[in-house]
């Protein structure tokens, strides 16, 4: 856990969030500035600044992140019409919070290219 990390503070309960899911490894919550009707962030409880900061020891955690995102997307009713996952990495990638997070976006048709 990083003391100055917004998402670590959310995990610790120091900052409120609209929780969707939590277990020993991951935490999911609604984005406070949604870019789609359904916009959920799923984050590892282990502090990783971004996906490129992970290594082979994080393989199971990264897999769990994706599988849990699939489950959450289905529970949110997104599976039939589709949805998008986004993982921003670094400033040029659009990352603004430096704690690995996966965006689940859905509930409307999403355009391409996204940026």
Q: What is the pLDDT of residue 115?
A: 62
Distance CA 65, CA 80 (A): 21
Question: Does 112 reside within a domain?
Answer: no
What does 25-44 look like in DSSP terms, one character per residue?
A: SEEEEE-SS-SSSEEEEEEE
Number of separate domains in the chain: 1
Distance CA 59, CA 11 (A): 21
Question: Does 58 reside within a domain?
Answer: yes
Q: What is the pLDDT of residue 79?
A: 93
Q: What is the pLDDT of residue 3?
A: 78
Question: Could you tell me if 19 and 27 are in contact, meaning their C-beta atoms sit under 8 angstroms apart?
Answer: yes
Domain that holds residue 46: 6-106
Q: Looking at the annotation, which residues are catalytic? A: 101
| Token output for 65 | 């992140």
Q: What is the pLDDT of residue 9?
A: 96
| Count of residues making up the chain | 115
CATH number at residue 35: 3.30.428.10
Question: Does 115 reside within a domain?
Answer: no
- pLDDT digits (tens), the chain, 115 positions: 777 999 999 999 999 999 999 999 999 999 999 999 999 999 999 999 999 999 999 999 999 999 999 999 999 999 999 999 999 999 999 999 999 999 999 999 999 887 6
């Amino acid at each position: 856990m990083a003391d100055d990390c917004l998402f670590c503070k959310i995990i610790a309960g120091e900052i409120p969030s609209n929780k969707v899911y939590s277990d020993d490894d991951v935490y999911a919550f609604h984005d406070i500035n949604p870019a789609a009707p359904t916009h959920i962030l799923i984050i590892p409880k282990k502090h990783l600044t971004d996906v490129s900061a992970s290594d082979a020891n994080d393989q199971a955690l990264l897999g769990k992140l994706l599988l849990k995102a699939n489950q959450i997307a289905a529970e949110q009713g997104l599976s039939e019409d589709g949805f998008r996952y986004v993982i921003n990495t670094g400033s040029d990638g659009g990352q603004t919070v430096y704690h690995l997070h996966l965006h689940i976006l859905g509930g409307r048709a999403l355009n391409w290219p996204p940026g």
